[in-house]
């Protein structure tokens, strides 16, 4: 090496940036990373991890109901939001420390501060300039709110994790997975919760019958769906008055905007370089994550691929192989499993029925809808749904979808079978684990 300070300079120490920097440093390369807020990025600090901890809290709050049918009397005495919030923050701070150690142990130099591109090989952090042979942009995404009067009253997912008070009545605007998960957390912990959905539906884009089933179950838990977007938010003495497009209104003490996110390009300096964006505002890259400036690369939530941590990690590993190990293989984006940590969970892998039909497959659909054994002695009306989409010609299982307890855990296993190209015959030959909900995936015999 060369005239540069580093082989690689990474901007953003989130899922993609941390993985790429430490793996590439482990190959003996000289690597630096800049981070302006928190090590670990969105997922660790204001995303997947704290969200799942809050989901566990809201599920625990349901335990007394279920215990009753088993002859166990539990009572929910109190819910202390400050304890939950602060214990979560302590746990996240522990993880921040682990991320710093991972970077240090790999020999990655960490520069804390906002980083900006100066030229194709130079980055500025805190008034200092650093040069690198390659620069990787991994600055993630940022919440956006509908442009309506009173939009300054929205809090975003970022602030949700640090609220001073737990609300009594809240509105979540948006109907994607973040919105549905936040509504589940609020509702489960005793807050009267509304979701406002422009389309009037929850979780659009997931397999339609699975989505419908999930929506029904989610609303059964007490969340109210407002089938129109907000038009205006006004501050009142006690909270906010939200008027909707259909003229209706609702008084709440918190309005959470969870309707969208956009690539985080703020003051990154891309304007002065030839870095092109696509029509949706994501950074345009080729299959090597290379931008239109050849020494600069981008990945994770900055580019138009599924906005999920495992995808960002896989992109980082592919970048390592392509650029530093001479392995040109590109990342396969098919069959990415994903979950919505709603109550109950929705999880999915492979093609939806609609996608399979669009792609010209002649399909068979296998479905099962049942009450989980655990709930049979309780007064819960929650039901579980499972669905397989199978190619009639090859017998290959194209997609698996589930709504129910532990759906994420179950679908992760099914994803391996689908990735391996398993046929329905192989599912049928697989013995079940009895009694379990998961065994339904290998006992569905009759197409619906």
The CA distance from 241 to 19, in Å, is 44
Closer residue to ligand FAD, CB minimum distance, 69 or 269: 269
| Stretch touching ligand FAD by CB under 6 A, among 7-15, 69-77, 424-432, 438-446 | 7-15
* CB of 357 closer than 8 Å to CB of 391: no
Q: What H or E segment, with its residue span, contains residue 242? A: strand 240-244
- Exactly one of 121, 145, 406, 434 is catalytic; which is it? 434
DSSP 36: S
Select from 36, 110, 241, 378 the one that contacts ligand FAD (CB under 6 A).
Answer: 36
Rule CB under 6 A: say whether 34 interacts with ligand FAD.
Answer: yes
H-only helix segments in 260-406: 309-324, 353-358
> Cβ of residue 252: shortest distance to ligand FAD, in angstroms?
20
* Nearest CA-CA partner of 406 in 427, 433, 444, 366: 433
The C-alpha angle 240, 223, 204, rounded to 5 degrees, equals 100
| Stretch touching ligand FAD by CB under 6 A, among 198-206, 305-313, 317-325, 433-441 | 305-313
> Cβ of residue 132: shortest distance to ligand FAD, in angstroms?
14
> Cβ of residue 58: shortest distance to ligand FAD, in angstroms?
15
> Binding-site residue total for ligand FAD (CB under 6 A)?
34
Q: Which residue's entry shows tokens 């419908």?
A: 212
Which residues, including other chains, have CB under 8 Å from residue 217's CB and lie 6 or more apart?
A: 343, 344, 382, 383, 403
H-only helix segments in 284-352: 309-324
93-132 mask for ligand FAD (x: CB under 6 A)?
A: ---------------------xx-----------------
Q: Mark whether 114 is an active-site residue.
A: no
Interacting residues with ligand FAD between 130 and 169 (CB under 6 A): 138-140, 157
Closer residue to ligand FAD, CB minimum distance, 154 or 427: 154
Tokens standing for 57?
């809290």
* Nearest CA-CA partner of 306 in 297, 298, 315: 315
Interacting residues with ligand FAD between 249 and 268 (CB under 6 A): 264, 268
Catalytic positions: 434
Interface residues with ligand FAD (CB under 6 A) are 11-17, 34-38, 41-43, 47-48, 51, 114-115, 138-140, 157, 178, 264, 268, 300-301, 307-310, 312
């Amino acid at each position: 090496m060369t005239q540069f300070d580093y082989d690689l300079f990474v901007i953003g120490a989130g899922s993609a940036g941390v993985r790429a920097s430490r793996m590439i440093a482990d190959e003996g390369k000289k690597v630096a990373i800049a981070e302006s807020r928190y090590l670990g990025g969105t997922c660790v600090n204001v995303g997947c991890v704290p969200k799942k901890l809050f989901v566990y809290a809201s599920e625990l709050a349901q335990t007394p109901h279920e215990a009753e049918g088993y002859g166990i009397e539990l009572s929910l005495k109190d819910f202390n939001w400050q304890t939950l919030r602060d214990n979560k923050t302590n746990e996240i701070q522990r993880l921040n420390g682990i991320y710093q150690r991972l970077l240090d142990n790999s020999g990655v130099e960490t520069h804390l501060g906002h980083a900006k591109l100066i030229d194709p090989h130079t980055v500025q952090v805190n008034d200092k300039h650093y040069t690198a042979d390659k620069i990787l942009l991994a600055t993630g995404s940022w919440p956006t709110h509908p442009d309506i009067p009173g939009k300054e009253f929205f809090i975003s997912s970022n602030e949700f994790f640090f609220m001073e008070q737990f609300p009594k009545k809240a509105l979540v605007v948006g109907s994607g997975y973040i919105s549905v998960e936040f509504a589940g957390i609020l509702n489960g912990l005793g807050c009267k919760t509304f979701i406002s959905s422009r389309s009037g539906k929850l979780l659009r884009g997931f397999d339609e019958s699975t989505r419908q089933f999930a929506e029904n179950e989610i609303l059964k838990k007490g969340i109210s769906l407002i089938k129109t977007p907000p038009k205006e938010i006004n501050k009142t003495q006690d909270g906010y008055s939200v008027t909707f497009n259909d003229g209706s209104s609702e008084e709440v003490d918190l309005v959470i905007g969870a309707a969208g996110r956009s690539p985080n390009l703020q003051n990154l300096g891309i304007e002065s370089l030839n870095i092109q964006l696509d029509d949706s505002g994501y950074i345009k890259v080729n299959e090597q994550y290379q931008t239109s400036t050849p020494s600069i690369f981008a990945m994770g939530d900055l580019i138009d691929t599924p906005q999920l941590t495992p995808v960002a990690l896989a992109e980082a590993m592919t970048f390592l192989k392509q650029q530093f190990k001479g392995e040109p293989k590109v990342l396969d984006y098919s069959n990415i499993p994903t979950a919505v940590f709603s109550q109950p969970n929705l999880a999915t892998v492979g093609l939806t029925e609609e996608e399979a039909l669009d792609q010209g497959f002649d399909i068979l659909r296998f479905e099962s809808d049942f009450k989980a054994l655990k709930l049979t002695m309780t007064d819960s009306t929650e039901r579980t749904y499972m669905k397989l989409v199978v190619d009639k010609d090859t017998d290959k299982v194209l997609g698996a979808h589930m709504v129910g307890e532990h759906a994420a855990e179950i679908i992760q296993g099914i994803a391996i079978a689908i990735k391996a190209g398993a046929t329905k015959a192989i599912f049928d030959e697989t013995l079940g684990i009895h009694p379990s909900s998961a065994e339904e995936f290998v006992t569905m015999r009759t197409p619906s």
